[in-house]
Structure 1
Amino acid sequence: MKPYLCVKGILDFVFALILVIALLPVMAFCALLLVIEDPSEPFLYKPERAGKGNKVFTVFKFRSMRVETERDGQKLSDSERMLKVGGILRKLSLDELPQLFNVIRGEMSFIGPRPLPVRYLPYYTDEEIHRHDIRPGLSGWAQVNGRNFLSWERKLKYDLEYVNNISFPFDLWIFLITIRKVFSLSDVGIRGVDIPDESLHEIRKPNRNRS
């Protein structure tokens, strides 16, 4: 294990704790807006994701869509399910703020491959599965190079580039680009709303080595 990974874990915990304290009013305000718009459902969305070593954990996010998937017998599209407040939070990446608690719990890092659904595990190539050698991140090399506009192959390639070259300067570079993109609102297309939704398990066959 690279020595930097130990330091990285400590830095993640300290800065996440500081940010949670500083941004608690912002998170409370976001939660309040979601409750006002859709009081019938929880303001948090808690999907299961695959983390380091393929370990399953629960990700915390502000809910951006209505829970209902059908209305009058008709399936609702993601754009129809999108809450007004939820859409704004996703555009500004504020829906990710609760993941600071995942960082504090040691399940995530500030920088790393984004956590993906558990059902994708059988569909990675033998090389791509190494994206799970480290903790997933709030932002990553793939996210600052196109985010949802990338093909799955390109996105996973960026993940591996990061895993193979992880270092403090690399993390700092990704962090600075992330901040710039958040404030400039670049690469903010939402998959399933602004961009066609295409899941990994829909375009690939399972890898026989893990299925």
Structure 2
Amino acid sequence: MIYKKYFKRLGDIVASTIALLLLSPIFIIISLLLLIVNDGKPFFTQKRPGKNEAIFTILKFKSMNDKKDANGNLLPNAERLTRIGNIIRKTSLDEIPQLINVLKGDMSLIGPRPLLIRYLPYYTEEEKVRHSIRPGITGLAQVSGRNLLGWDTRLALDIEYAKNISLALDFKILLKTIKKALKSSDVVTDQADYMLDLDEQRKTEIA
């Protein structure tokens, strides 16, 4: 409880500051490359729900371009994924800008991943526990299978983490995250190829 209440946030601030300083050359290089590849748009931003469902703007490197078809609709994700975008996704380098979210207090280094706002009405009361803490860059669900897990399993792992936060658990997740990032394992280019979005799945279950 002491770790969760006091030291976790302090650790986030110290670790994210050090990480940003160490990764600044990579941050600058990727930003410049994406600036060229994505027509002056190196970053992807999107509103997401955080702690207590407060809305914040998540920041990531932009791995897909904005190319559209003849009708003005965005092309499928797989067709918009750029070569450098594919590389930064597989190596999880696209997540680096979220260290800024951590410094701002929107996120933690470790916690449930911040999902889409439109999912909020579809969580069960138990699943809403995931929003009792700050969302994370990585988390228990991510090191347990990432996007290859079904929704029920992913959300159950989020609940398990939220109820059992500890320094030992965070350290274990951090080590597993580094290992998976180096191996580029469990990375999915387009989640739609493997599973429905949460809101669509829940609507199907109700029907």
TM superposition shift of 1:197:
5.2
C-alpha root-mean-square deviation of aligned residues, in Å?
Answer: 1.6
TM superposition shift of 1:67:
2.1
CA contact (8 A) 1:53 1:132 kept: yes
Q: CA–CA distance in 1 between the matches of 2:148 and 2:82? A: 22
Residue-by-residue CA offset, 1:72-107 (whole Å, 9 max, x unaligned): 237521101111111111111000000000010011
CA contact (8 A) 2:52 2:131 kept: yes
Q: CA–CA distance in 1 between the matches of 2:85 and 2:112? A: 23
- Corresponding residue for residue 158 of structure 2: 159
Distance 1:168 1:81, change over 3 A: same
- Give aligned-pair identity as a percent: 44
CA contact (8 A) 2:53 2:131 kept: yes
Q: What TM-score do the two structures reach when normalised by structure 1?
A: 0.91
TM superposition shift of 1:36:
2.0
Q: Which amino acid is 2:52 matched to?
A: G
Q: CA–CA distance in 2 between the matches of 1:123 and 1:12? A: 30
**Structure 2, unpaired ranges of 5+:** none
Q: What TM-score do the two structures reach when normalised by structure 2?
A: 0.93
Q: CA–CA distance in 1 between the matches of 2:49 and 2:38? A: 29
Across the two proteins, how many residue pairs are aligned to each other? 202
Q: Which has the higher helix share?
A: 2
- Corresponding residue for residue 209 of structure 1: none
TM superposition shift of 1:164:
1.1
Q: CA–CA distance in 2 between the matches of 1:196 and 1:71? A: 24
Q: CA–CA distance in 2 between the matches of 1:62 and 1:23? A: 14
**Structure 1, unpaired ranges of 5+:** 207-211
Partner-residue secondary structure (3-state), 1:30: helix
- Corresponding residue for residue 48 of structure 2: 49
- Corresponding residue for residue 19 of structure 2: 19
- Corresponding residue for residue 28 of structure 1: 28
Q: Which amino acid is 2:45 matched to?
A: K
CA contact (8 A) 1:64 1:90 kept: yes
